[in-house]
């Protein structure tokens, strides 16, 4: 397999789904109220809250308080609503958690060593996740294996589009500057792999919790050590 760039999904690929769903999301749900009470008047946070009130309760902004906001955000979080304000606030809550050492970003045990090896061979590495760029940088910056961000050249989130859209991968190609056939995309989700493949990428499917039975015309592996990209 000849590649110059490896683009990676996070959940189910570099990191466990359990970490995101059973650690990160409950953490932000639990801490959001206290966070809003403590930081709600700081410009960065109050700006987001005003934006949210104006959008959800136009004309009634002044009647809404932190409790209303907290309730709304909790409902959205439980429904996994992909709203930019919710994502930004979750990112800020996680940032505190990581900085205080309450959170360590999960990465599968072989991932740091394999990424270092690829980097040494001259490959560039990037992340494409529906988690915000801030959340991605926090996870890899405070991972179980320390700060992995120096290994990563680019971070993409849904600002480039949905992960099941071919156009998102075309935009990423413009940004990273390598032709699509020289880029390998790693994900556990067949719809994402199909979209990337349509955009011309090489793709490989990860099976972290079940035997590797590819769900499309591409290879399937259980861990990064089974992938051997070499430079074109
Ligand atoms: Mg995934």
- In the chain, where are the structural domains located? 5-16+106-226, 20-99
Q: Write out the residues surrounding ion ligand 1, Cβ under 5 A.
A: 9, 11-12, 188-189
Instruction: Write down the pLDDT at residue 144.
Output: 97
pTM greater than the 0.75 cutoff: yes
Instruction: Write down the pLDDT at residue 103.
Output: 97
Distance between Cα 62 and ligand 1 center (Å): 40
Instruction: Write down the pLDDT at residue 102.
Output: 95
User: Mean pLDDT, consecutive 10-residue segments, the chain of 232 residues?
Assistant: 93 95 94 95 94 94 91 93 89 95 97 97 96 94 98 96 97 97 97 98 95 92 92 64
Distance between Cα 78 and ligand 1 center (Å): 19
CA distance 174 to 181: 13
CB 20 within 8 A of CB 139: no
CATH class of the domain whose range is 5-16+106-226: alpha beta
Could you tell me which CATH number the domain at 20-99 has? 1.10.720.60
Distance between Cα 46 and ligand 1 center (Å): 32
CA distance 163 to 166: 8
């Amino acid at each position: 397999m000849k590649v110059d760039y490896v683009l990676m999904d996070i959940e189910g690929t570099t990191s466990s789904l359990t970490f995101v769903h059973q650690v990160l999301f409950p953490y932000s749900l639990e801490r959001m109220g206290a966070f809003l009470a403590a930081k709600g008047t700081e410009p960065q946070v109050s700006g987001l809250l005003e934006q949210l009130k104006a959008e959800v309760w136009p004309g009634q902004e002044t009647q809404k308080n932190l409790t209303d906001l907290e309730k709304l955000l909790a409902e959205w979080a439980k429904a996994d609503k992909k709203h930019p304000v919710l994502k930004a606030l979750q990112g800020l809550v996680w940032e505190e958690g990581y900085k205080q050492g309450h959170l360590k970003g999960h990465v599968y045990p072989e991932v740091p060593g394999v990424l270092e090896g690829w980097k040494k061979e001259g490959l560039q590495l990037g992340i494409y996740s529906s988690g915000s760029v801030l959340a991605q940088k926090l996870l890899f910056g405070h991972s179980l294996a320390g700060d992995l961000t120096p290994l990563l050249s680019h971070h993409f989130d849904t600002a480039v589009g949905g992960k099941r859209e071919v156009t998102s991968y075309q935009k990423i190609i413009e940004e990273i500057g390598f032709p699509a056939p020289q880029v390998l995309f790693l994900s556990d989700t067949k719809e994402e792999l199909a979209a990337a493949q349509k955009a011309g990428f090489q793709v490989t499917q990860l099976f972290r919790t079940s035997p590797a039975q590819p769900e499309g015309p591409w290879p399937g592996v259980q861990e990064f050590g089974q992938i051997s990209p070499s430079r074109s």
